[in-house]
Chains A and B, each alone.
Chain A
């Protein structure tokens, strides 16, 4: 089955700096890669996703890049704000979002 590794497990940045979270996956058949943000005690919320036919996708301050050859994808957050503080999860799916395998999560702390 699919295995997703996520790094780092914790990330502390100063407000206004950029944050980068990286994930690797094992199944070359995976074709969908979402990113979720989870605040303490809340449900995971989809913030951005990318499909395997695209190398990069951007939505305001967040972007995701995908390298299919190396089997890794990354989340980039620019101009971080305190409200970006949360746990971020990457995931991968080989069948159009049906069977999601999640990474272990990254706790992002943005210091004012």
Chain B
């Protein structure tokens, strides 16, 4: 999992502020995902990408935007943060369409006050 990094590790935002979370991988994997994990709950898929230049909505996409301009980077943007977006955000990667396993990054803890 050393090949997946997330920046920043922690962040505190005020309501209405914007920010971008970065997921970077050096494993040349095609598929990348963004999940959120709320306290005591499982992970929920926000957006995902099946390759450079592609993005798709997951289970809970509202309030977030994503971009995959380079294969190794997947950006998650919050244009106007809300307290309901306080969560831990995990990025995950998957090698290609015929592989099944997703591997997770270390996470970003975001608090919106």
Pairwise interchain contact B40-A46, C-beta atoms closer than 8 A: no
On whether the beta carbons of B107 and A43 are closer than 8 Å, the reply is yes
B43 within 8 A of A: yes
CB pair A46–B42 under 8 Å, yes or no, is no
Q: Is the CB of B104 within 8 A of A100?
A: no
B44: chain A residues at CB < 8 Å are 102
The one of A43, A45, A93, A99 in contact with B58, judged by C-beta atoms closer than 8 angstroms, is A99
B1, B45, B101: the one contacting A34 at CB < 8 Å is B101
For residue B43, which residues in chain A have a CB less than 8 angstroms away from its CB?
44, 89, 100, 102
Q: How far is the CB of B88 from chain A (nearest CB, A)?
A: 9
Determine whether the beta carbon of A45 is less than 8 Å from that of B104. Answer: yes
Give the distance to chain A from B111, nearest Cβ to Cβ, in Å: 15
The answer to whether A104 has its CB under 8 Å from any CB of chain B is yes
A105 is contacted by which of B42, B45, B94, B102 (Cβ under 8 Å)? B42
B41 touches A104 (CB 8 A): yes
Question: Are B104 and A44 in contact (CB-based, < 8 A)?
Answer: yes
Q: How many A residues touch B, CB cutoff 8 Å?
A: 26
Q: A34-B100, A97-B99, A100-B43 are in contact. List 12 more A-B contacts (CB 8 A).
A: A6-B42, A32-B100, A42-B106, A43-B104, A46-B103, A51-B100, A89-B43, A97-B100, A98-B50, A102-B43, A104-B40, A105-B42
Residues of B within 8 A of A (CB): 1, 31, 33, 40-45, 48, 50, 58-59, 90, 94, 97-107
With A1-B59, A98-B94, A99-B58 as contacts: A105 and B41 at CB distance below 8 Å: yes
Smallest CB gap from A104: residue in B: B42
CB contact between A43 and one of B31, B42, B90, B101 (< 8 Å): that residue? B90
Contact yes or no, B40 A105, CB < 8 A: yes
Kindly state the separation between the CA atoms of A46 and B100 in the bound complex, as whole angstroms. Answer: 11
Choose one: A1, A36, A91, A98; the contact of B31 (CB below 8 Å). A98
Q: A43-B90, A43-B107, A98-B31 are in contact. Are A49 and B42 (CB under 8 A)?
A: no
